[in-house]
Structure 1
């Protein structure tokens, strides 16, 4: 069983020294991925693609992705070429995180016309198809939202695509096209939104001859990793708030073995320093979970 463990990086202009220090530590400690946000309309945030390119250049094993790409601001044909370049430069360590676009009041400040919800989802699904068709073995063809000309595919394998779908139509597009799904609003396997969303993905996957397991669930997972156990690891509404390394290990091992969780991106919360919590994640929590899920099932 391969489960991905990563973290969400700080992403402010003033965070650059910490961003690089954390990435190098995560790479050394054996984490799988790092993610950064994509909000180009915010002046004090780093551009997500510039940042992950730099991180990939400073690391050897760590994968990186934008969580998630603001598609209306990064047209799919150009995004496909960016994906090919990052994959080639990093030896295949780039993952394409993709969303249909939210916060249109902010997106339009960048000079991009607003799409209707239906148009945004159409463009989202076409973008996934286009990225693959512009990769090794593909045949790029014009679509409704991307009327491209005569383009050749790049001789680079297509990246994994993980989406941040939320609505029914974009969830269905994820089921038909994507390799992974990142539930929105930090929803986890016990949340109502997960319970109604995941079946839409599974049904859509089956409708095109795929298996539900072809679309992994990778959770954005905020919480505090504390030095000592806490009395309650979830709040009154059932959201995970954190606990000691042992409490994290128990919770996430159960999520993997009993709820088909395929990955986690940690977003540290609480009063302990970010770097301290990331060290607990990479040195204590993740190795123990990997060991637990690698054990053979008991024979009945």
Structure 2
């Protein structure tokens, strides 16, 4: 079994945290993507530096703001990072949410329905432009390429941040994983009602729902002493002692089928580097041991490989 354990990086300590996560044996580091904010680093510029400063950890944007990054160029960017890092990259994709901010970059706004269609089309384009093969021509509703040679490297795992029913169905049809929105976890109503929609769409598309990983963004405190309650009145995870974290995450894997966790420290006065160390060296090894999670040899990326190495045929968008 292969479960991802990651860490959500803070812009202010980006490189130091990434190097620490790599050194302490985590599988994944992630950065956010808000290109309309002046005080945030460009996500893919950051990813390039992170991958250049680390040796084994996989990196991902959690999640890519697709409306500001056209799919054909995104495919080329991700292919380059994959080639240079030995495949240590995953592609998180979002249809776009803060449209008032996105429009400041000169991007044409899309209705929710069109944004979802663009998301599915983007996944098709990224896969088509990966893995080698003959020239690709694609004339879609949102993206067009003409006689373009795919990159030789395979497409990375593609995870979506889907929220609504239509985008959840896209995840089931074409994605490799799902990152539940609003840091919802395995005991939440959101996951309980959303994951069946992914599974239903997967089955209709002839896929095995088990091939679509659920990777949770998980904020919380790591305390020195056990907390009386690890969840608040609404049922949201608050955190707790190392033993409480280990018990909860072990249950998430064995009982709820969780495929990964990206930890985000809570601002409670604990230095982020201290929280990262406790997560990476105390909680993660214990959960790996309890769940039988496989860890890779040094230098080998752990990001789940695409389920098929064949580049999919490009559908005719007119049909």
What TM-score, normalized by structure 2, do the two folds share? Answer: 0.89
Report SS of the residue matched to 1:98: strand
In the alignment, structure 1 residue 258 sits paired with structure 2 residue 255: yes
Provide the rounded CA distance (Å) in 1 between the counterparts of 2:141 and 2:259: 33
Give the equivalent residue in structure 2 for 1:6: 6
In the alignment of these two chains, the number of paired residues is 290
The ranges of structure 1 where at least 4 consecutive aligned residues each deviate by more than 2 angstroms after the TM superposition are: 137-142
Instruction: Tell me which of 72, 85, 88 is aligned to 2:67.
Output: 72
Give the equivalent residue in structure 1 for 2:32: 37
Provide the rounded CA distance (Å) in 1 between the counterparts of 2:221 and 2:39: 25
Instruction: Please report how far the alpha carbon of residue 137 of structure 1 lies from its aligned counterpart in structure 2 after TM superposition.
Output: 4.1
Provide the rounded CA distance (Å) in 2 between the counterparts of 1:221 and 1:165: 16
Give the equivalent residue in structure 1 for 2:96: 101
For structure 2, the 5+ residue unaligned runs are 294-319
Provide the rounded CA distance (Å) in 1 between the counterparts of 2:53 and 2:139: 36
Instruction: Please report how far the alpha carbon of residue 271 of structure 1 lies from its aligned counterpart in structure 2 after TM superposition.
Output: 2.5
Provide the rounded CA distance (Å) in 1 between the counterparts of 2:270 and 2:236: 20
In the alignment, structure 1 residue 233 sits paired with structure 2 residue 213: no
Provide the rounded CA distance (Å) in 1 between the counterparts of 2:45 and 2:236: 33
Determine if contact 2:132/2:150 at 8 Å carries over to the other structure. Answer: yes
Instruction: Please report how far the alpha carbon of residue 230 of structure 1 lies from its aligned counterpart in structure 2 after TM superposition.
Output: 1.0
In the alignment, structure 1 residue 248 sits paired with structure 2 residue 233: no
In the alignment, structure 1 residue 210 sits paired with structure 2 residue 190: no
For structure 1, the 5+ residue unaligned runs are 296-300
Instruction: Tell me which of 272, 292, 295 is aligned to 1:274.
Output: 272
Give the equivalent residue in structure 2 for 1:180: 177
In the alignment, structure 1 residue 147 sits paired with structure 2 residue 157: no
Provide the rounded CA distance (Å) in 2 between the counterparts of 1:186 and 1:170: 17
Determine if contact 1:183/1:219 at 8 Å carries over to the other structure. Answer: yes
Larger RCO (alpha carbons 8 Å, 6+ apart): 2
Determine if contact 2:132/2:149 at 8 Å carries over to the other structure. Answer: no
Determine if contact 1:226/1:272 at 8 Å carries over to the other structure. Answer: no
Report SS of the residue matched to 2:92: strand
What TM-score, normalized by structure 1, do the two folds share? Answer: 0.95
Provide the rounded CA distance (Å) in 2 between the counterparts of 1:142 and 1:158: 20
Provide the rounded CA distance (Å) in 2 between the counterparts of 1:285 and 1:147: 46
Taking the TM superposition and a 5 Å limit, the aligned residue runs for 1:124-135 are 124-135=119-130
Provide the rounded CA distance (Å) in 1 between the counterparts of 2:19 and 2:68: 29
